[in-house]
Amino acid sequence: MAAHKPSKSTFQSSNQETKLCASCGRIFGYQKRWEKTWESVRYCSKGCRQDKFEKRDANLEESILNLLNSKQQPIDPSLLEATFDAESFKNLRERIRRAARRLVAQGKIDILQKGRVVDASSAKGPIELRLK
């Protein structure tokens, strides 16, 4: 797996070479196969292209912000799972993480592991969310 730079600097130096995936919220790099289409590429992978950003994903972002505003402390994103219908919302846990990554890219929140800010694109395992 490729090494990731800290998300902040990667995002700020975002240029022709990197983009933010509109679905999973990860930073991804230019690949030769996108030579002719790079300008219109919005998703990092086929999976993300099929699993498009939906209106309710925007609702997830809003719910995360609302919860963070009401708690005023780092939260475990699984708290949100109870507030959505997991049956009708496939891969709810992953979609919450995706929403969190997009919020990081928007500069609204931090993703933490063991109390430290981590790179949103590569963090694995349990995470906590905190308002910036």
Judge whether 68 and 129 are in contact, CB under 8 Å. Answer: yes
Residue nearer to Zn ion on the CB measure, 21 or 75: 21
How many amino acids of this chain bind Zn ion (CB under 5 A)?
5
Residue nearer to Zn ion on the CB measure, 31 or 83: 31
Over the window 12 to 51, marking each residue x when it contacts Zn ion by CB under 5 A and - when it does not, the resulting string is ---------x-xx-------------------x---x---
What is the helix (H) or strand (E) element at residue 106, kind and residue range?
none
Residue nearer to Zn ion on the CB measure, 5 or 130: 5
| Residues shown for the chain | 132
129 bridge partner residues: 75, 111
State the helix-helix crossing angle for 92-105 and 55-71, rounded to 10 degrees.
70
Q: Taking Cα atoms as reference points, which of 10, 67, 72 lies closest to residue 99?
A: 67
Residue nearer to Zn ion on the CB measure, 1 or 82: 1
Footprint (CB under 5 A) of Zn ion, residues 46-105: 48
Residues contributing to the site for Zn ion (CB under 5 A): 21, 23-24, 44, 48
